[in-house]
Structure 1
């Protein structure tokens, strides 16, 4: 573990949610398939943690015979989930420590980011910053960006839904996934 200031970084004090997944019984009635607490992954060197809640591996999603649940379980168990799930989606929490400075990165994805707790700053590579509070939403369209938590005392939590997208080109230039500022924190998605 690394340290944040003089204290060890143990991850977010915000509660890990219970994930409830529904399904159908033999009579086609709705049931709870499972209820569990997913594990958070700590990134002490960057002062944040991430909790993957669910993934899909195809669009449209195949839910027959719980195919999506089985694929999600296999993806998580494989331990190689990238920033984006090729041809699919990821929903995850990202918890940012007080006074954390994010790293610039770009994923080949269309992301919805909803601030659930605290405040965050979205910084783009043109130097602009946008301050976001609880309930604010960022529609992140494969741009180079970083997230910061400006509070000196409070943690921030953002719910992200990441969706694979077609390769993005601007003025004939391909904008590929770029995780170079934090290669140890984020696994490549291989979506380029």
Structure 2
């Protein structure tokens, strides 16, 4: 396995807290999660040399505001939408060096922090900002793509909050990018 793939497979420790019936806090889980390639569903393999990115699904709320008492299934190694319409989610993206990314629009407000590497954030208007470690970008429904501008794997922490989707062009409401079943799985009714 090349060093690039090893970097894309760097695990993430995730600790989740909860509150017991008497109102006392405790640690509900403490796990090590390995990035996976969502296009390999339902097997979810480690990102290979042709993977566009690796992902670690950290947490997913099914409501807004979040219900911290509601038991939630673990989102890791599941097909979580690019932007969940029922509540916020957070994830880590690993991007291998690439010439181009994938333009997409989500109906969400996204907060992204570059944890490592150098990443280009490109708008469909043709503008690009190059972001480095510890830089933060707030994406407000913009059609965009991420492109790794460095030589190693870049890692990004992203919090995605559903929005009203009221981005317009010449008075017409713009919709999210259709991404297919892998990136936009059928929504559960709960």
Q: TM-score range by the shorter chain?
A: 0.7 to 0.9
CA distance, structure 1, for counterparts of residue 18 and residue 126 of structure 2: 46
Structure 1 match to 2:43: none
Task: Indicate the residue corresponding to 1:30 in structure 2.
Answer: 25
After superposition, the Cα gap between the structure-2 partners of 1:72 and 1:89, relative to the gap in structure 1 and judged at 3 Å, is farther
2:72 aligned counterpart, secondary structure: helix
- The structure with the greater share of residues assigned to helix is 1
In structure 2, relative to structure 1, the CA distance for the partners of 1:26 and 1:90 (3 Å cut) is closer
Give the root-mean-square deviation of aligned CA atoms: 2.6
- Alignment-derived partner of residue 35 in structure 2: 40
Please list the CA deviations of residues 24-59 of structure 1 after superposition, one character each: whole Å capped at 9, or x if unmatched: 345433211111123422155453111100000101
Number of residue equivalences: 175
Q: How far apart are 1:101 and its partner, in Å?
A: 2.1
* CA offsets 1:118-164 (integer angstroms, 9 cap, x no match): 11000000111100001111100111100001123x11001010011
Q: Which runs of 5+ in 2 are unaligned?
A: 40-47
Q: Distance in 2 between matches of 1:172 and 1:189?
A: 29
Structure 1 residues 61-76: aligned runs within 5 Å? 61-64=66-69, 67=70, 70-73=71-74
Alignment of structure 1 residues 103-142 onto 2, 5 Å: 103-142=102-141
Change (3 A) 1:167 1:188: farther
**Separation in 1 of the partners of 2:73 and 2:59?**
7
2:13 paired residue number: 18
Specify whether residues 161 and 58 from structure 1 end up closer, same or farther in structure 2 by C-alpha distance, changes over 3 A only.
Answer: same
Q: CA deviation at 1:81?
A: 1.9
**CA positional deviation for 1:18:** 1.0
Paired residue secondary structure (2:126): coil
Query: What residue ranges of structure 1 are gaps of 5+ in the alignment?
Result: 1-6
Deviations along 1:75-103, one digit per CA (max 9) or x if unpaired, are 557x4421112120110000001235211
* Separation in structure 2 between the aligned mates of residue 14 and residue 72 of structure 1, nearest angstrom: 23
Instruction: Name the counterpart of 2:175.
Output: 176
Are 1:11 and 1:49, in contact at CA under 8 Å, matched by a contact in 2?
no
What residue number does 1:3 align with?
A: none
Q: Provide the residue aligned with 2:183 in structure 1.
A: 186
Does structure 2 retain, via aligned residues, the 8 Å contact 1:83–1:189? Answer: no
TM-score (norm 1): 0.79
Q: TM-score, normalised by structure 2?
A: 0.80
